[in-house]
Homo-oligomer: A and B are copies of this chain.
Amino acid sequence: MAIDFTLTPAQRALQLDARSFAKEVLADARAAESLATPEERFLATKPTYEAMVAAGYLRKCIPAPAGGENAGLVDLAILAEEFYSVNPSVTLTMLGTVLGLLPILLGGSPEQCGRLLGPFLKKSGAPLAGFCSSEPGGSANAASPPPGEGVRTTAKRVGENWIIDGRKKWVSSATGWDRKGADVLCVVCRTDPVAPPEKAISIIAVEGPARGIVFERAINAIGHRAHLVPQFAFQNVTTPQRNLLGQEGGGLALGTAAFTATAALVGIFGVALMRAAFDDTLHFARTEKRGGVHPIIGHQAVGYALADAKTTIEAARALSWRACHALDTQSPAAAELAVQAKIFGSEAAVRVITDLMRVVGIDSYDHEAPFGRLLQDALALPIFDGGNMGVRRRQLHAMFMQPDYDPLAACGAA
């Protein structure tokens, strides 16, 4: 119990194992990203994802109390950095599945956990889960009162079941490998048509494949080219009443809790991408002379640009670890730090990779070099998982308006 940055032996082992697995398995799997259509690309990663599951990495992402092997977000950050720096698409498929399970992990009953988590605790298969939050037309104002649309997807109780109707978009892996639905979908929907938003929204699990899940298209996204983000509909999808997660009407709060955990990890995603770009630039600078006498690392402008990049990387890693630890220990500053780690790491990644491209110069503009890919992946970080402008900074703004907000909580006892 002290300010400490020393990895435990278990963490160090996790880091080195993950680094090896990434190098040996995940690196080559990037080839999937050059296939022609989003679905082809996604399907081509299935063997890699299966290998990840088989090697136990999905289990390492699920908390020990729920039957997995994860000891906390700090550990998850260590793992995520290694994987994401090598193959963001497939890593996001795994971590998107973890996000898809978060409403269960955070809000589910023991019965629900036992029943729904089963496929994800095995070391076989390619189980997918999706957190169905975003909708066509945008969800930055999911908590809007009328006449704002807020959450448009509805769930009505009919007999023992919920009947879900609506459309979703940008939900990682949501329609699964076969367009029929991931193994578990946690659906944010309106369960009360008249109550105010903080009492009207619930999260309900749907077990896929499910009749009424209608695939519309796989988004041709700028990055994460081998990861699936579909647009799809729920048309009279039926799910048993017992699949309501947490309190009825407590969906906004549960969703926010899930997205707080992920925020700290997005900071690490940024670190991972910057780290990869830094490594490539450093190698380039040490070996390329660009027609001159010495490797370009000899130029001060090159060295200083690398210095700025590395400084930012270390700041982002320290802040992300700090946020993960705060969440693990339920610090009063946890929510603030998680959002800050997300904002900082995500925007830093875009800026740093862009800057490093300028060190490399025009050859970075060739898709044979990794920079275009890294930047295209990085561009998602500020805008997914709660956009920094429409959601994340708004969260901080709201915290600052709380009368009991304590700016020193983050340097304090917890």
Contacts and interface: CB of A to CB of B under 8 A. Distances in A.
A288 B337 contact: no
A336 interface: yes
Contacts of A11: 2-3
Interface stretch (A91-99, A241-249, A319-327): A319-327
Nearest to A363: B138
B135 A291 contact: yes
A218 to B, nearest CB: 11
B340 A361 contact: no
A90 to B, nearest CB: 18
Contact of A361 (B138, B288, B301, B315): B138
A260 interface: no
A365 B344 contact: no
B307 A397 contact: yes
A350 interface: yes
Nearest to A292: B141
A321 B219 CA distance: 40
Contacts of A199: none
A127 to B, nearest CB: 25
Contacts of A344: 311-312, 315
A194 interface: no
Given A2-B7, A5-B325, A310 B361 contact: no
A123 interface: no
Interface stretch (A45-53, A106-114, A176-184, A386-394): A386-394
B393 A301 contact: yes
Tell which of A141, A142, A307, A388 has the most Cβ of chain B within 10 Å: A307
A4 B3 contact: yes
Interface string A393-413: 110111011000101101111
Given A3-B6, A303-B394, 14 more contacts: A2-B7, A141-B292, A151-B291, A220-B366, A220-B367, A221-B367, A285-B400, A300-B301, A303-B396, A303-B400, A310-B340, A318-B322, A362-B383, A365-B380
